[in-house]
Amino acid sequence: MDCFEIKNNSSLVRIFHAAPQAQNIDVYVNDQMVFNDLAFGDFTKYVYLDEGEYNVSVYVAGQKDRPIINQMVDVSSQQIFTVAATGNLDNLGLLVIPDKVSKSPSQSYSSLRVIHLSPNAPGVNILVDGDILFEDISFEEGTDYVDLNPGTYNVNVVLNTDKSVVLPLKVTLNPDKIYTIYIIGNPPTLQAVQVVDGNTYACR
């Protein structure tokens, strides 16, 4: 695909529906619909937003009587962001997650981070081929990117309370890609969403 230009005085932003109890959503920015009918576990495409502060309102898809989230979001210049709708119905909110522009892909390795967006799950450890890669990630927290050899790995999401494996995964990492694995849903039906971040495609 073509690369994303990091423009002066604007940033690239996408929305991720990670609120397990919420229905499909419509997303309005300064009272203008930007994305519609976004399902749980899905991402929008990236769009450019000028630097500044925005009112972001989230509604149940097809409705506009009362927002389920109404929050100000600050967009700084020349960045890439994922904005996640998170939480359960009684505490929904938006979490702004930088897809770090300073991180560049490499043809020699893959890059990976993990972000915990399961409201009811305790902190988790991430084991890769039996070894701990990330430790004690709490709800709405994430790790830094780490570089790994391309390949397929056995990844286990483990509760740090009783060390039980709650989500076994087989993850394929390709060279020249920067990935995030988002842990979503609520126990006992946790899910993992692996996505390529926009910094993979930023024009260098």
Fold agreement between 10-98 and 110-201: yes
Residues found in the chain: 204
Contact between residue 87 and residue 93 where contact means Cβ atoms under 8 Å apart: yes
Q: Domain 110-201 adopts which CATH fold?
A: Immunoglobulin-like (2.60.40)
- For the chain, the structural domain boundaries read 10-98, 110-201
Strands (E), 143-190: 146-148, 151-159, 165-173, 178-184
User: What pLDDT does residue 1 have?
Assistant: 59
Digit-coded pLDDT (tens) for 141-161: 999 999 999 999 999 999 988
Digit-coded pLDDT (tens) for 8-39: 999 999 999 999 999 999 999 999 999 999 99
Rounded Cα–Cα distance for residues 16 and 119 (Å): 15
Residues of the chain with pLDDT under 70: 1
CATH superfamily of 10-98: Carboxypeptidase-like, regulatory domain (2.60.40.1120)
User: What pLDDT does residue 161 have?
Assistant: 87
